[in-house]
Amino acid sequence: MQGTRFAPDRGLTTRMVGTMFLIGLLYVVFVGVLVALLRGAWPFVLVVAGGLFVAQFWFSDRIAAFGMGAREVSPQEAPELHGAVDRLCALADMPKPRVAIADSDVPNAFATGRDQRNALVCATTGLLRRLEPEELEGVLAHELSHVAHRDVAVMTIASFLGVLAGIITRIGLWGGLRRVGGRDANTALIMVLVPLVSAVVYAISFLLTRMLSRYRELSADRAGALLTGRPSALASALTKVTGQIARIPTRDLRQAEPFNAFYFAPAVSRDSLSRLLSSHPTLEQRLDQLGRLSTQLGRP
């Protein structure tokens, strides 16, 4: 927790360590299999794998901000948003992250960055327009708890393997696998095995990150509500955001959907998603937890 006043979560820590161990093991096996299959191309595989990992870890905040259309704003440009972040950071005793706004009608927020010193918290214009000040602070406390728990960095690393599997497959299939071993039976076997291995690795890493993502959202709800002392404000924001998202055009939701794992609430499409594949717990689960917290704190 790096000395912040956010409530620690041993369950989240245990899950993050377990996920990182399994992802790391899977990563080693994946690269080893690729090296064995591609033989003469193994230096290329290692360079690509290592380079992509370093790039995604060190520049994840910029990549995510760019992908979600976030624009860093000054206190003069967004005084209310900065004021809320200032109050929460003082309350949590943590460094203030960079503050950004994304020009999107989808009401949402996210935090990114490998640590507290490189963190960025962003709210969409749709969120700022729809929420009351107390509700906005609840959402921002939720996002800041992700930074304090460092689960943003863990999710970035954990999701890297799936990204790598897809990229390696495309590079291998379209960029030169036919030159490895000549046009013979071995080449044909490689052409089949590499996509197969990549698909298996992607599926496993996807499920691992989804399980971690659902738990970390519940953890962030709990930590954010305890920090502000107003679980009902966060519950109100959740209900409002979820209801408003359902009214957003499907085209806009699909543009935001690839970043669901980082959002406060999932920008789901009209199609129903199974719980196994969802990046977030259900609204009912989140509201039930906040209701219990309200009872414990003696707050309405």
How far apart (Å, rounded) are the C-alpha atoms in residues 222 and 273? 24
Q: What strand order describes the sheet that includes 98-102?
A: 70-72, 98-102, 120-124, 109-112
Angle 43-49-55 from CA coordinates, rounded to 5°: 130
How far apart (Å, rounded) are the C-alpha atoms in residues 55 and 58? 5
The continuous run of DSSP H or E covering 299 comes out as none
The continuous run of DSSP H or E covering 70 comes out as strand 70-72
Is 134 considered catalytic here? Answer: no
142 labelled ligand-binding: yes
149 labelled ligand-binding: no
Angle 88-235-136 from CA coordinates, rounded to 5°: 35
Q: Which two tokens stand for residue 282?
A: 């259900």
Catalytic pick from 134, 143, 257, 284?
143
Q: Which residues pair with 112 in a beta bridge?
A: 120
How far apart (Å, rounded) are the C-alpha atoms in residues 213 and 4? 22
Q: Which residues sit in the known binding site?
A: 142, 146, 217
Q: Annotated catalytic sites, by residue?
A: 143
Binding site as annotated, residues for Zn(2+): 142, 146, 217
